Amino acid sequence: MTTATDEGDSLPTTTDLRFLREAIALSAASKDRGRHPFAALVVDRDGQVISRRGNNSMPPEGDPTQHAELTAAAAAARSRPAEDLADATLYTSAEPCAMCTGAVYWTGIGRIVYGLSEKRLATLTGADPENPTMDLPCREVAARGQRRIEIIGPLLEDEAAEPHSGFWRS
């Protein structure tokens, strides 16, 4: 049984905060391109970015399964062996949904560091049909697996919320 780190168990490093801010900046760039304001990157143990992705799940040309976290994890899995990903971190502007947490699990990425919590995101998106939120914390999803995923977040929520300002039809 996996044990996802409880809130407060691990403290973020300055490196964590730097890459989380990069994910938040990428989420703003996604918004500027007319996409949903989410983004993620996967970083190896040496601090090298393996993959960066903005969200591409928005109609009409977007695929609703193409969340930034899922596509960043998939790209990392295509470029690195599983043993390398065990020490990698997925940095994401918002708490990964159940699908994206599953992608992190299946690709073997060992850590998640996220900005905006799902609960805070729901207050920003309201009932917008383009983002029907799921009140299922990533820690609960990760706790159901056999592999341990360290999870740190929410962090920098005010900064992570900024790209969502004025975007959603609440």
Active site residues: 69
Is the CA virtual torsion 91, 73, 78, 110 positive or negative?
positive
H/E stretch holding 50: strand 49-54
As separate numbers, helices (DSSP H) first and strands (DSSP E) second, the chain gives 7, 5
Residue 125 and residue 162 in contact, taking contact as beta carbons nearer than 8 Å = no
Cα 40 from Cα 100, distance rounded (Å): 11
